[in-house]
Amino acid sequence: MEPLSFETARASLSALGGSGRVRLDLEGTVARLVIDHPSARNAISPAMMIQLASAVEALEAWPGALLCIRGQGAKAFCAGSDLSAVRGALDRPDLAQAMLTFMGQVCARLRALPQLSVACVQGAAVGGGAELMTCADLRVIQSDARVQFVHARLGLSPGWGGAARLKDLLGYSQALAVLARARPLDLPQHPALWHSLASDAEAETETLLQELSALPAESVRGAKAALQSPQAERESFLKLWGGAAQRKALAKLSQGKGR
């Protein structure tokens, strides 16, 4: 099958429609991306995939430093693709390829955003929802959340880039075991998957975001950029050196206010 362009894939998914929405709020110091489809455990319909792409495009141009990703309500982060919306496409490999192309690129761009992203994971994060969770830089996961790369039990394998991201987080052997067994994860056994395993993920996420918001936005973005490569680290340092954030911090030090 010939490769699809991103725009061709977008047009194919647009024709499928579906309910639910993706909301993006860029007010304040923290951008908030919400997967809003609680009647389907926040599963992502084709229409929501288009909205997610638009949200990512807006974030790529947004100058802020922090992004919170979450599902609507506390019962689910995201249950993957909305099967009720795509069931009619099971005999359409062209539509499967469109979703693969589109969501693969959208998730890659979400992962590559200049903002430091924090996923607040409550309830179910299964299938494509577990893949989406791995797009965030940090994950605050509620201790009773159900995180499951369920694909193998559905006769599938990951298709949104989640397998490669899971390997980066857990290593090859653990990632393969997680994908092949397709069981709900025993989260304490996989500490590389989370920044914090919390009794109240929402409160813990807000505390983390408040802490990060107190730092210069340029430095937070620079910290993420510096991890991309030695060259990016050098460029980030030189871009920030002598800037307003550094001068303000040094002024505080000279006034005896500490670090």
Tens-digit pLDDT profile for residues 122-143: 999 999 999 999 999 999 999 9
Report all structural domains of the chain as residue ranges with CATH numbers, in order of start.
6-213 (3.90.226.10), 217-254 (no CATH)
Q: What is the pLDDT of residue 20?
A: 96
Q: What is the pLDDT of residue 174?
A: 97
The tens digit of pLDDT for each residue in 65-84 reads 999 999 999 999 999 998 77
* Tokens standing for residue 84: 């009720």
Instruction: Name the β-bridge partners of 21.
Output: 36
What is the average pLDDT across 183-200?
97
Q: What is the pLDDT of residue 254?
A: 82
* Residue 252, pLDDT above cutoff 90: no
* Tokens standing for residue 52: 């997610």
Say which DSSP state 87 is in.
Answer: G
The tens digit of pLDDT for each residue in 41-70 reads 999 999 999 999 999 999 999 999 999 999
What is the average pLDDT across 198-220?
96
Mean of the per-residue pLDDT values for the chain? 93
User: What does the DSSP assignment read for 193-256?
Assistant: G-SEEESSHHHHHHHHHHHHHTS-HHHHHHHHHHTS-HHHHHHHHHHHTTSHHHHHHHHHHHTT
The confidence band for 33, taking pLDDT boundaries of 50, 70 and 90, is very high
Helices and strands (H, E) in the chain, number of each type: 11, 9
CA distance 144 to 201: 10
